[in-house]
Amino acid sequence: MGRHRGRRSGRGRGRRHARGAVPQGDARDERLGRDRPVADLVARGAHDRRRELGGARPRRPRRPDGHDRRGGPAEPAGSLVSGAPEALREAKRGLRRAVRAARDALAPADRAERSRRIAERLLRLPELEGARTVMVFASFGSEVDTGPILGGLAARGVRLALPRIAEGEVVPIAYRLGDRLVPAALGVPEPADGPPVPEAEIDVVVTPGVAFDRAGYRVGYGGGFYDRFLRRARPEVPRIAVAFALQVVPEVPHGEGDERVDLIVTEEEVIRCPPR
């Protein structure tokens, strides 16, 4: 379908009415390259965010079976939990600003090449084998270009769905390559027409987002639309995030209502997050 992203890279996604840790040491430096500044910025701010949020939940030691010493499942590494809503929102805002600034700074040609590599990795995932209906999203601004993903899935005969925001909720809409997209609030592209796709028929969800950690926590654009949608989807449906490597940070501040993804596909690797 070609590139369908808008040019307003500083805007949010989905707000209708307004609309595991990073590798350490030399390997980390070598891998992040010019993406390192944003990761370092986030890493330096992690301690301050913990202090503002009242402290991170202590990590309990894990046994080899993945459970802690009390017998329950161990919390995913890198998590940061807060009981102070305003402090949590502020921590997310700061992380969102830093990562979006780094993403916006990518040159268009560099962004296109990274997006191509992400699409290649995603289309090879076993989670997509046999998928009949996949919900993606129409990218905009400096997001990963989802055009190659949509084209690759359509070539396999997969039924596509794109999100539309209606009355504050994500509604999957049937989409075919070439269907008209219209800018919704703040310029986010949505299908102009098309019937809704029943949520029970969606086999895989490809999610947008601003920042992710290796535990699967994500920071979106602040509306909570995808968190609510993911809770409505069938529990076994794979949640796959697509992001540039610079969007993967050591830890993402999160609260009780924040949903995790199962995989994060970047231009460098496929991150398989701990089970939900």
Domains of the chain: 25-272 (3.40.50.10420)
* Structure confidence at residue 13 (pLDDT): 61
User: 94-126 burial by CB neighbour count: b if 16+ within 10 A, else e?
Assistant: bbbebbbebbeebeeeebeebbeebbebbbeee
Q: Which one, of 159, 166, 107, lies nearest residue 130 by Cα?
A: 159
Whole-angstrom Cα distance, residue 111 to residue 36? 16
* Structure confidence at residue 126 (pLDDT): 98
Residue pair 258/217 in contact (Cβ under 8 Å)? The answer is: yes
Q: Which one, of 217, 151, 197, 216, lies nearest residue 178 by Cα?
A: 151
Q: CB under 8 Å to 71, separation ≥6 — which residues?
A: none
**DSSP symbol at 179:** -
3-state secondary structure of 194: coil
- pLDDT tens string, the chain, 276 residues long: the values are 444 444 444 445 654 433 333 333 333 333 444 565 565 655 555 445 444 444 444 343 343 344 433 333 344 444 455 457 899 999 999 999 999 999 999 999 999 999 999 999 999 999 999 999 999 999 999 999 999 999 999 999 999 999 999 988 999 999 999 999 999 877 889 999 999 999 999 999 999 999 999 999 999 998 889 999 999 999 999 999 999 999 999 999 999 889 999 999 999 999 999 999
Cα torsion through 253, 14, 205, 87, rounded to 10: 10
Length of the chain: 276
* Structure confidence at residue 188 (pLDDT): 86
**DSSP symbol at 67:** B
* Structure confidence at residue 84 (pLDDT): 78
* Structure confidence at residue 58 (pLDDT): 38
E strands within 87-198? 133-135, 159-166, 169-175, 181-183, 189-191
Using alpha carbons, list the distances in angstroms from residue 155 to 4, 128, 202: 18, 13, 18
Whole-angstrom Cα distance, residue 22 to residue 274? 15
Neighbour count for residue 66 (Cβ, 10 Å):
10
Q: Which one, of 268, 266, 264, lies nearest residue 20 by Cα?
A: 264
